Amino acid sequence: MVITMKYNYDKIMIDTVESFGGVKKSLLLHSCCGPCSTACIERLKEFFNITVIYYNPNIEPLEEYLHRKREQIRLLKELDIPYIDVPYDNEVFVNNTKGLAQEREGGSRCSVCYGIRLKYTAQTAKVHNFDYFTTTLTVSPHKDSQIINAIGIAIGNVYSVPYLCADFKKRDGYLRSIELAKEYELYRQNYCGCLYSKRDENEE
């Protein structure tokens, strides 16, 4: 169980980048999809040398995963943002979420999923000596930034890589991601990624 305290993570991010004194830091940005990454990159690029990692073993089926990945890579080429490629590993998601099939979106299954993706990102950031790591996940209005940031902080402490706290949905971040997705003609999916989320979307 993740216990969080209420913080203004958007302000924490602003305070963090202001402390750099104009010197750009390196940032490994975990991206859940191309559309969500647009507004995050736009907001971060002034302060960081960004590299994107697309690690999302939760996304099913494989064809959907590959479609989203192609769109992510296409966007990054247009933006001239470096990209770290990783293999599809749905098995790690399936094994770690056993027994959580009936959890609704936003519940403990999602927290496990956030942890899987942020752990891999932190490990990669450590290996490649990034100054920070963070995720695009908080741009979604359906995801709790308090939970995501608490997981990120904890994992960052384990691997000794600072996690950049943020709430990218603030200051119309989500609306901006929709605008940019249209501008770049990106595919926008209608469910988060796993088949459970697709099931829940269809039931609403």
pLDDT tens for each residue of 50-75: 999 999 999 999 999 999 999 999 99
177 phi-psi bin (left φ>0, alpha ψ -120 to 50, beta other): alpha
Strand partners, 52: 29, 83
pLDDT in tens, 128-172: 999 999 999 999 999 999 999 999 999 999 999 999 999 999 999
Domain ranges of the chain: 9-203
- One-letter amino acid of 8: N
Burial class (CB in 10 A: 0-12, 13-18, 19+), 132: buried
Q: What is the pLDDT of residue 2?
A: 42
- Give the CATH architecture of domain 9-203: 3-Layer(aba) Sandwich (3.40)
Q: What is the pLDDT of residue 38?
A: 98
